[in-house]
Amino acid sequence: MDRVFKALADETRMRLLDRLHEENGQTLGELCERIAMTRQSVTQHLAVLEDANLVSTVRRGRTKLHYLNPVPLHEIQERWIDKFEHPRLRVLGAVKRQAEEAMTDKPTFVYVTYIESTPEKVWDALTDADLTAVYWGHSNVSDWRQGSRWAHVRTDGSGVADVVGTVAVSERPTRLVTTWAAPGDEGGEGEGAGHSRVTFDIRQHGDIVRLTVTHEDLADEAERADAASGWAAVLSNLKSLLETGSPLPQEPWLVPGP
């Protein structure tokens, strides 16, 4: 938390976060133009923001895109704002809309969290039907082989799946890619078929695990806003379950997939 406050104490770094909030997924060159600083200076400030987990990066070929990561801000809100019930100080609320962007060739939403666990346990928590039922309120059901069907099934005994899709990549315990669609749209593939795509990248980071969730091809601004709040809740619950053995006291969350 000290790194977060140190990063936020600098006006230039705050401006960089503002620029990413306005348009997420920018290159170093784009940020330099908007901040009117040298590449070396912007690179140094971005390094501080990455070290504080306020900025995450994703590579698209040779291009490195920078994304505002709301996780530390969400934790500050929970610890220092919600706890003392000061609604008038909810200036961090706009962070939930940080994924709203017009560029369709960029990931819609990127979320990074660090978990005191192992890659294998994180993978199992994402794919085990019983575990997902505990912290997600839905069971993720599949054999998790590449090309297999998967379903996000309600835990009320009805057997109803709210999201279905295909396992596009399955590389335990480091990478899982799935398509997401409403059951009625399951037959169509590709753009315009009501599908989105979720990538889970699981990497060892020292003694802990870095989990990056990239949710692409959401249909509109409403779905992007739902994804931002939905993933924050789901992954906070996952982190709590793996680190403490108990999920947070939350309602079941359905991250929008179609």
**What does the pLDDT profile of the chain (258 residues) look like in tens digits?**
678 888 889 989 999 998 888 888 889 999 998 887 889 999 999 999 998 888 888 888 888 899 888 777 766 666 655 555 444 444 444 444 443 444 445 447 888 888 999 999 999 999 999 999 999 989 999 999 999 999 999 999 999 999 999 999 999 999 999 999 988 776 654 444 568 999 999 999 888 999 999 998 887 777 777 887 788 889 988 998 999 888 766 555 555 444
Q: How far is CA 182 from CA 75, 193, 236, in A?
A: 31, 10, 25
Beta bridge partners of 175: 171, 201
* Count of domains forming the chain: 2
Q: In this structure, are 120 and 224 located in the same domain?
A: yes
Q: Find the largest Cα–Cα distance for the chain.
A: 58
The domain in which residue 74 lies consists of 2-102
> Within a domain: residue 154?
yes
Angle at 73 between CA 83 and CA 58, to 5 degrees: 155
| 92 and 117 co-located in one domain | no
Token readout for 30 is 């784009």
Q: What is the pLDDT of residue 104?
A: 45
Sequence-distant contacts of 174-182: CB under 8 A, at least 24 apart: 174/119, 174/123, 174/201, 174/202, 174/203, 175/199, 175/200, 175/201, 175/202, 176/123, 176/126, 176/127, 176/144, 176/200, 176/202, 178/150, 180/152, 180/257, 180/258, 181/257, 181/258, 182/257, 182/258
Instruction: Please tell me whether the peptide bond between 87 and the residue prior to it is cis, using omega within 30 degrees of 0.
Output: no
55 located within any domain: yes
82 shares its domain with 138:
no
Instruction: Let me know whether 67 and 124 are in one domain.
Output: no
Same domain, 62 and 116: no
In a domain, 251, yes or no: no
> Using a CB cutoff of 8 Å and minimum separation of 24, what contacts does 10-14 make?
10/45, 10/48, 12/37, 12/41, 12/45, 13/45, 13/48, 13/49
pLDDT, position 217: 86
The structure tokens 């060739």 sit at 105
Q: Is residue 190 part of a domain?
A: yes
Same domain, residue pair 131 and 229? yes
Among residues 62, 85, 102, which one ends one of the domains? 102
Do residues 78 and 186 both lie within one domain?
no
Instruction: Output the DSSP codes for 83-143.
Output: GGT-GGG-GGGGGGGTT--S-TTS-SEEEEEEESS-HHHHHHHHH-HHHHHHHHSEEEES-
Element (H, E) at 60: strand 55-60
What's the rounded Cα separation, in Å, for the pair 190 and 166? 12
Q: Measure the CA–CA gap between 40 and 36, rounded to whole angstroms.
A: 12
Same domain, 119 and 229: yes
Please identify, among 102, 119, 140, the residue that sits at the C-terminal boundary of a domain.
102
In this predicted structure, what is the pLDDT of residue 80? Answer: 58
Q: Are residues 123 and 71 in the same domain?
A: no
Quick one: 128 and 50 in the same domain? Answer: no
In a domain, 205, yes or no: yes
Let me know if residue 188 belongs to a domain: yes
**What CATH number should be reported for the domain holding residue 231?**
3.30.530.20
Claim to verify: residue 128 and residue 53 sit in the same structural domain: no
Torsions phi, psi for 94 (to 5 deg): -70, -15
252 is a domain residue: no
Say what the pLDDT of residue 102 is. 43
Expressed in angstroms, the distance from the first to the final Cα of the chain is 35
We report the CATH number of the domain holding residue 93 as 1.10.10.10
Q: CA-based angle 173:179:185, to the nearest 5? A: 155
Residues 6 or more apart whose Cβ sits within 8 Å of residue 63: 27
Is position 52 within any domain?
yes
Whether residues 149 and 73 fall in one domain: no
CA distance 25 to 103: 9
Among candidate residues 55, 82, 102, the one where a domain is terminated: 102
pLDDT at position 98 is 47
